[in-house]
Structure 1
Amino acid sequence: MARILVPLAHGCEELEAVTIIDLLRRAGQEVVTAGLEPGPVTASRGVVLQPDVTLDEVLEQPFDMVALPGGLPGADHLDRDPRIHALLERVASHQGFTAAICAAPKVLANAGLLNGRQATAYPGVLEGMQLGDVQLAASAVVRDGQVITSRGPGTAMDFALTLVEALAGREKRDEVEAGLAR
């Protein structure tokens, strides 16, 4: 069983956050949700999410994946938090997965984790950035090695299923997907 951290910031996209958490838990993975600060997190459409812990409580713990929900201003809050950048770099250096959807791939870009990779994001998010050798794709989900990115709320199911497959294999992905009656 893999251990996944889903950081939650005020203004995150609730559809993305809940889909990531739900599908990974359906796959039998250990998902830890962590707020950037103590207390509930109000998402971009007013849904209130209750994180399991604060980021400080799990900052030094090992994770197999960090999955960032997007949304604004949630992705901006993640991007401005040096703890998130340090955590992403540490997980990547241990060959763990870093994943981001919607506006959150810019956090991966600013942490230097998209260099030399193919990636996608919500239209317009990465295009204006100084990305150097990042190859932008219009695909719904892009997996380039240990980095997985996706476009937005409409691709959240496919993104989360790709996370399941990366961590637990194609058979587990198919099992979870069959349970969704797609």
Structure 2
Amino acid sequence: MDWERVQKLVRELIIEIGEDPTREGLRETPRRIADMYSEIFGGYDSNSELSVQFSEDSDTVIAKGIQFYSMCEHHMLPFFGKVHIAYSPNGRVFGISKMVRLVEKYSKRLQIQERMTRSIANEMQAQGVRGVAVLVEAEHLCMKMRGVRNDARMATSVFRGIYESREEKEAVVAMIRRPAEDI
């Protein structure tokens, strides 16, 4: 990405909204925004490294409460929350850091929550697991700050493989919802 061009465009935007980009508080804003964009949109160049696995097996592995921050593609405002990933290994398990990196890979992009949820599930499924369930709960600033101005949260889910049956869906959701102290 051409970060100098991004800085120029941000400077132009500051002018267009009626501000003075030479004002003390705004002088470094174009650079700060370009730096921020390189971080929050880093998912386009990210590698989740799910190919790194360990020989082990389990019925179900769950990574609960993986925090994420993303940007809505409709208004370029943040949405953020938690991702829960459950999967049934097929003789090999992933380190939890790999699942965190997978969430970062897809959350650090312009997108919608539904696509992010599906993309995470698709990549997990592509690694040969017997099943995967991804649940995402998020708050959207595009709803809180503008338009309907409402605090509603959104939840999305994708169930693949063995988790597609009603019984398995209910069981994995119950495990995800169970408080950590009850495990």
Query: Which protein is bigger by CA-based radius of gyration?
Result: 2
Common topology (TM > 0.5)? no
Q: TM-score range by the shorter chain?
A: under 0.3
Task: Calculate the TM-score normalised by the size of structure 2.
Answer: 0.27
Write 1 or 2 for the structure with the bigger share of strand.
Answer: 2
Task: Calculate the TM-score normalised by the size of structure 1.
Answer: 0.27
Q: Which has the higher contact order (CA 8 A, sep 6+)?
A: 1
